[in-house]
A and B are shown apart, each in its own frame.
Chain A
Amino acid sequence: ETGVTQTPRHLVMGMTNKKSLKCEQHLGHNAMYWYKQSAKKPLELMFVYSLEERVENNSVPSRFSPECPNSSHLFLHLHTLQPEDSALYLCASSQLRDSGEQYFGPGTRLTVT
Chain B
Amino acid sequence: GENVEQHPSTLSVQEGDSAVIKCTYSDSASNYFPWYKQELGKGPQLIIDIRSNVGEKKDQRIAVTLNKTAKHFSLHITETQPEDSAVYFCAALPGFRAGNQFYFGTGTSLTVIP
Residues of A within 8 A of B (CB): 4, 6, 40-43, 45, 48, 56, 58, 90, 92, 97-98, 100-107
**B38-79, CB under 8 A of A: which get 1 and which 0?**
000111111001010000000000000000000000000000
Cross-chain contact of B101 among A48, A104, A107 (Cβ < 8 A): A48
**Cβ-defined contact, A100 with B103, below 8 A:** no
Chain B residues engaging chain A, CB cutoff 8 angstroms: 4, 32, 34, 36, 41-46, 49, 51, 89, 91, 93, 96, 99-107
Instruction: Please determine whether B41 and A106 come into contact, CB atoms closer than 8 angstroms.
Output: yes
Residues of B within 8 A of A101 (CB): 34, 46, 49
Q: Are B43 and A42 in contact (CB under 8 A)?
A: no
Instruction: Please tell me if the beta carbons of B104 and A104 are within 8 angstroms of each other in the complex.
Output: no
Question: Contact between A4 and B93 (Cβ–Cβ < 8 Å)?
Answer: no
Give bound CA distance, A102 to B38, whole Å. Answer: 14
CA distance A90 to B42 in the complex (A): 10
Q: Once bound together, how far apart are the Cα atoms of A107 and B41, in whole Å? A: 8
**Alpha-carbon distance between A107 and B51 when the two chains are bound, in angstroms:** 27
Q: A42-B103, A100-B51 provided; 18 other pairs, C-beta below 8 A?
A: A4-B43, A42-B4, A43-B44, A43-B89, A43-B91, A45-B101, A45-B102, A48-B101, A58-B101, A97-B100, A98-B100, A100-B49, A101-B46, A102-B102, A104-B43, A104-B44, A104-B45, A106-B42
Which residues in B have their C-beta under 8 angstroms from that of A90?
Answer: 43-44
Q: Are B100 and A42 in contact (CB under 8 A)?
A: no
A106 is contacted by which of B32, B43, B103 (Cβ under 8 Å)? B43
